[in-house]
Amino acid sequence: MPTIFQTSGFLILFPFVAALLVFAQRKDTKFRRGTVIVSGFLIMAASVYTALGILIGGSSVQAPFKPDPIDLYHISECVILGGEIFLLLVVIILSFKHKKIYCALLGMLGTIPVVALEIGGYFPEQETALRLDPLSAVMFLIAGVVGPLICMYAVGYMSDYHHHHTNVQDRTNVFLSLLFVFLGGMFGLISSDSLTWIYFFWEITSVCSFLLIGYTRTGEAINNSFRALWMNLLGGCGFAGGILALLILDGGRVNSLSVLMQQTRENPVVMLAVTLFAFAALTKSAQFPFSRWLLGAMVAPTPSSALLHSATMVKIGVYMLIRLSPLFTHTFTGIMITVIGGFTFFAASLLAISQHDGKKVLAYSTISNLGLITACAGTGTTEGVWAAVMLMLFHAVSKSLLFQTVGDIENIMGSRDIEDMHGLVIKLPRLALIMMIGICGMFMAPFGMLVSKWAALKAFVDSQSVWLVIFLVFGSGSTLFYWAKWLGKICTVIHQSVNLDDSTHGSELISMVPLTGLIVVMCFAFPWMSDYIVQPVLDATFAMKVPNVVGGADTIIMMIMVAMIFIVPLGSRFLSLGARDRMTMSYVAGVNAGDDRHYIDSFGKSRPLYLANWYMEDYFGEKRLLWPSIGISAVIVILMVLIVMGGVF
Amino acid sequence: MTLEIVIRVALYIVLAPIIGGLLEGVDRVISARMQGRQGPPLLQPFYDLNKLLHKQTIVVNSIQVLFIMAYLIFTVFTGALFFGGGDLLLVVFSLSMSEVMLVLSAYSVNGPYSAMGAQRELLQMMCYEPMLLLLAIGFYVAQGSFMVNDLISLDRPAVIALPGMLIGFAFILIIKLRKSPFDLSTSHHAHQEMVKGLTTDISGRDMGLVELAEWYDTTLMMGLICLFFVTADPISYLFGVIACAVIFFLITLIDNTHPRVKAMRMLGLSWIVVLVCAGTNLLILNLVL
């Protein structure tokens, strides 16, 4: 049997190989489809194997690790150095090509000092390079299960996409291979312990997301992709700044995550580095004021949005924050991170109310949920981290499913506007059901997100962050509003509606059916997940045995609720069997025109009836709320960085 | 212990609709007196319910029936959770789930009045949801537990620590019970420009079930008021009942004296009241404790 370090090595390298294989096949052949699907399943199997190995093996396999023999280590160092320079060149060339010089400058600002010091040999010899612990296992599960599913979905989606968007040049091979490169970078990031290695993988994901967003090469796509690039490169500068601070001000003692975690919170230099890493994490997780890149990312084909929003990109930021969370406990940085997270949760959920583009609602909801996870991690308490990990798991599954459904609906109906999803339950029953489960997974009571939100509330109360509690309760109110009205739109039954031709590809179903199943299974499995997945994370993160967060009695009630959700439909079907109900049209003040979508106006003419949802743009519109939110949060972020710097100098 | 919970839940399931129905009867009698009318007999709501349950039901689609059933079942479940002594936060979450079911039933019929009512109901939920959550948190901070069982066996009533919460809760109760000036989504009064709003397309047996669920809901709300006053001392239950009576009377009075407000005014007003009363209360509590 291979060791988990071998499989994690495989996971880091194999996606790049798969990417090359896919890239080499320009034509949409069966063989290319097969390559993607087989590679996807291989990655999935390896990640589940690795994750289970870590979780079952316990602390014996979790020790930091240095590749052996030493040559292998040196070779990987050289590869990474080369990779960093290559990424920088890509950024510089594309920036100059599209006359966005500032991106090139930001890229150089972050990468050149790190690379120069590395070449000059200023970094002390690494103690460790890789480390696999329960948090990595969680990330392996998220990226390694949801990620490949999205790649498989992309196969069917992209052929439909180019069928509808004939003006976009078909570069599906590039697109698919970028998805795999992204996964490779992701696996590298979550198994690395060395800070410079993490920095390299961090930049891979930045550049990959930039290339994915710019896929269609329209003016809007290019603008949005550069926005994503500069914000993420700024975060990269922050990360590099953290590494340099540790090297220059602290003598390079601390050069890996595991050593960083052993530092005390009293050392101002360590806290400066932690703050800069957290700053980088905020950009990756698209927290306010850096949210606009994620909103712009939706111009790209749906699989890339699904990947960025659920399994990879934004999860990297919160992954870093959860890693650092023991250092946040009762520190200024921790408080500021929680405030930014809480504020983002609230502001993004208000903004989501005013959106009727399905993808944009999903984008705001991602930002909002990520805000909650950020806030949880920022509290630095065990309950906070419990909630953060749970939220991360549930969010990854629900959100990727929702993106995929919206993408499919767009391919079939030619629109992803929520208003056009009116009566979806009749038009596309299968997709509507999948979407309903996805939406319920995001906000309804017994489903995972809400359970985790509940733990988050407890965490905030226990850590005495009253302001956060207030952000959370008001944010919950608006979250309910925007999800429920979407759900209502889908549930509307229009009689005599045409059943649209559901042309969902097999490869798309390969992805969507398991994800739907996962949401349902995770509802039932959540006590088990808490015991065997999240508790080990807590034990490892806080380096002590942590008491169980959610009590037994509540879990039982929760199980009853989940069971009821599935029993009620059956039960009410059974109860209404014998009833002799008369069917009628809905009430339209007595002027129905024979069906439920026309009415007779005052001239006796039949007119179509159109029911719109409320969006309240005057109150919650982007025009009114977006820039003030960005302004407020920018001030908080700048204050945080300046004050922590002031502590050092 | 388990037996006691079962008895309490059983009592709740039997008594709650009676209490809820009586409260509605009282409300109608008092309202009539305020308007200088004779008004219906006290038991009129029960006669109405009986009649509704025996009428032929007219439905728009079968999904509608499903959601209404779910609404009733989850509402009863929520109350059972509360009176059985469960977790307050879970009660709040489960309550909002049951409300969403009602909203979905209105959405499903594709009628203009129902759809309007559904949007308005969602907005009303957005108004009171924060307060309900804050209420649960307030109890936790002041009394140290989310469990109703623990909260009723303390020796100091919660209202001493949570006066602001009580005011905030009484305020959102007007929204929750859909009384004027916040009866936007549906109303028992005749002057309703959107017919019956949320429940326009519900009739017969289904309407009866909705009424029944509302009675369960009203009883649960009264239970929440009582929770502010109840201690280990049995006499404290009397104070709870008195408080319920006072607040219920005030709500009826406001219902009869205030015209309906616009939706966004309701949202602004309720969030400000909640923030000022409950938020400040929580802040002070956190500083003191």
Chain A contacts in chain B segment 61-80 (CB below 8 A): 61-67, 69-70, 73-74, 77
Q: Is the distance from CB of A85 to CB of A112 less than 8 angstroms?
A: no
Predicted complex ipTM: 0.95
What is the spatial distance between Cα A308 and Cα A301, in angstroms, rounded to a whole number? 11
Cis amide prior to A547 (ω within 30 degrees): no
A65 pairs with which residues across the strands? A130
Residue of chain A with shortest Cα separation from B198: A587
The pLDDT value recorded for residue B48 is 95
Q: Does the pLDDT at position B222 exceed 80?
A: yes
What is the mean pLDDT of the segment spanning A118-142? 84
What is the mean pLDDT of the segment spanning B47-70? 89
**∠ CA B217-B218-B224, rounded to 5°:** 90
The pLDDT value recorded for residue A592 is 82
What is the spatial distance between Cα A199 and Cα A191, in angstroms, rounded to a whole number? 12
- Binning pLDDT at 50, 70 and 90, where does residue A401 land? very high
Structure confidence by residue, pLDDT tens digits, A338-356: 999 999 999 999 999 999 9
Residue A609 in any domain: the answer is: no
**∠ CA A542-A333-A319, rounded to 5°:** 50
The residue among B256, B260, B188 whose CA lies nearest residue B218 is B188
Residue A597 in any domain: the answer is: no
Map tokens 């975690």 to a residue. A261
What is the spatial distance between Cα B215 and Cα B202, in angstroms, rounded to a whole number? 17
The pLDDT value recorded for residue B287 is 86
- Binning pLDDT at 50, 70 and 90, where does residue A547 land? low
Q: Is the distance from CB of B168 to CB of B224 less than 8 angstroms?
A: no
What is the mean pLDDT of the segment spanning A509-514? 89
Report H helices in A444-547.
Answer: 448-462, 466-491, 506-529, 535-541
What is the mean pLDDT of the segment spanning B256-279? 93
User: A586 and B126: CB-CB below 8 Å?
Assistant: no
Q: Is the distance from CB of A460 to CB of A375 less than 8 angstroms?
A: yes
Chain B residue numbers with beta carbons less than 8 Å from the beta carbon of A445 are: 93-94, 96-97
Structure confidence by residue, pLDDT tens digits, B176-185: 999 989 998 9
Q: Which of B81, B107, B273, B289 to mutate to test the interface with A (most CBs of A within 10 A)?
A: B107
Structure confidence by residue, pLDDT tens digits, A463-475: 778 888 899 999 9
**A408: Cβ–Cβ under 8 A, 6 or more apart, which residues?**
A157, A431, A504, A508, A512
A130 pairs with which residues across the strands? A65, A192
Q: Is the distance from CB of A284 to CB of A374 less than 8 angstroms?
A: no
Q: Which residue has the higher pLDDT, A324 or A451?
A: A324
Q: Does the pLDDT at position B50 exceed 70?
A: yes
Residue A46 in any domain: the answer is: yes
Nearest CA of chain B to the CA of A610: how many Å?
8
Report H helices in A251-357.
Answer: 257-261, 268-284, 292-296, 302-306, 313-324, 332-353
- Binning pLDDT at 50, 70 and 90, where does residue A584 land? confident
User: B58 and A445: CB-CB below 8 Å?
Assistant: no
Q: Does the pLDDT at position B1 exceed 80?
A: no
What is the mean pLDDT of the segment spanning A107-131? 83
Q: Does the pLDDT at position A45 exceed 90?
A: yes
Quote the tokens at residue A464: 């005495």
Q: Is the distance from CB of B214 to CB of B138 less than 8 angstroms?
A: no
Of B112, B126, B130, which is closest to A588 when you measure between CB atoms?
A: B112
The proportion of chain B whose per-residue pLDDT surpasses 70, expressed as a percent, equals: 99
Q: Does the pLDDT at position B170 exceed 90?
A: yes
The residue among A638, A641, A631, A635 whose CA lies nearest residue A347 is A631
The pLDDT value recorded for residue A186 is 94
Quote the tokens at residue A520: 């349902």
What is the mean pLDDT of the segment spanning A200-220? 93
What is the spatial distance between Cα B121 and Cα B184, in angstroms, rounded to a whole number? 7
List C-alpha distances in Å: A274 to A206, A241, A265.
20, 10, 10
**∠ CA A629-A633-A635, rounded to 5°:** 120
What is the mean pLDDT of the segment spanning B39-54? 94
Q: Is the distance from CB of A541 to CB of A258 less than 8 angstroms?
A: no
- Binning pLDDT at 50, 70 and 90, where does residue A33 land? very high
Quote the tokens at residue B215: 């009675």
User: A582 and B56: CB-CB below 8 Å?
Assistant: yes
Residue A578 in any domain: the answer is: no
The pLDDT value recorded for residue A185 is 94
Q: Does the pLDDT at position B274 exceed 70?
A: yes
What is the mean pLDDT of the segment spanning A613-632? 92
What is the mean pLDDT of the segment spanning A21-32? 90
* Least confident among A577-586, B23-32, B72-81: A577-586
Q: Which of A418, A581, A600 to mutate to test the interface with B (most CBs of B within 10 A)?
A: A581
Q: Which residue has the higher pLDDT, B76 or A560?
A: B76
Q: Does the pLDDT at position B100 exceed 70?
A: yes
Q: Does the pLDDT at position A155 exceed 80?
A: yes
The pLDDT value recorded for residue A459 is 78
Number of domains in chain A: 1
Q: How many residues does chain B have?
A: 289
Q: Is the distance from CB of A381 to CB of A329 less than 8 angstroms?
A: yes
What is the spatial distance between Cα B63 and Cα B105, in angstroms, rounded to a whole number? 7
- Binning pLDDT at 50, 70 and 90, where does residue A611 land? confident
Nearest CA of chain B to the CA of A361: how many Å?
17
Q: Which of A422, A461, A492, A616 to mutate to test the interface with B (most CBs of B within 10 A)?
A: A492
Residue A621 in any domain: the answer is: no
The pLDDT value recorded for residue B194 is 80
The pLDDT value recorded for residue B163 is 95
Residue of chain B with shortest Cα separation from A619: B264
The pLDDT value recorded for residue A232 is 95
Residue of chain B with shortest Cα separation from A584: B60
User: A480 and B200: CB-CB below 8 Å?
Assistant: no
Q: Is A59 exposed, middle or buried (0-12, 13-18, 19+ CB in 10 A)?
A: exposed
Q: Does the pLDDT at position B192 exceed 80?
A: no
The proportion of chain A whose per-residue pLDDT surpasses 90, expressed as a percent, equals: 51
The sign of the dihedral angle between the CA atoms of B4, B7, B13, B16 is negative
* Least confident among A31-35, A594-598, B147-151, B266-270: A594-598
Chain A contacts in chain B segment 187-216 (CB below 8 A): 195, 200-201, 204-205
The pLDDT value recorded for residue A577 is 59
Quote the tokens at residue A371: 């805000």
Kindly report the number of other CB atoms within 10 A of residue A466's CB atom. Answer: 18
Backbone torsions φ then ψ of B34, nearest 5 degrees = -65, -35
Q: Is the distance from CB of A96 to CB of A104 less than 8 angstroms?
A: yes
Residue A584 in any domain: the answer is: no
The residue among A76, A307, A293 whose CA lies nearest residue A201 is A76
The pLDDT value recorded for residue B178 is 93
Determine the structural domain holding residue A75 and report its residue range.
4-569+627-648
Q: Is the distance from CB of A21 to CB of A35 less than 8 angstroms?
A: yes
DSSP single-letter state for residue B84: T
Q: Is the distance from CB of A281 to CB of A317 less than 8 angstroms?
A: yes
What is the spatial distance between Cα B114 and Cα B126, in angstroms, rounded to a whole number? 18
**A393: Cβ–Cβ under 8 A, 6 or more apart, which residues?**
A138, A141, A142, A448, A522, A529, A533
Chain A residue numbers with beta carbons less than 8 Å from the beta carbon of B96 are: 445, 480
Q: Does the pLDDT at position A66 exceed 70?
A: no
Quote the tokens at residue A105: 């400058």
The sign of the dihedral angle between the CA atoms of A131, A134, A137, A138 is negative
**B79: Cβ–Cβ under 8 A, 6 or more apart, which residues?**
B12, B16, B216, B217, B219, B220, B223
What is the mean pLDDT of the segment spanning A165-169? 88
Chain B residue numbers with beta carbons less than 8 Å from the beta carbon of A583 are: 58-61
Q: What is the 3-state secondary structure (H, E, C) of A143-159?
A: HHHHHHHHHHHHHHHHH
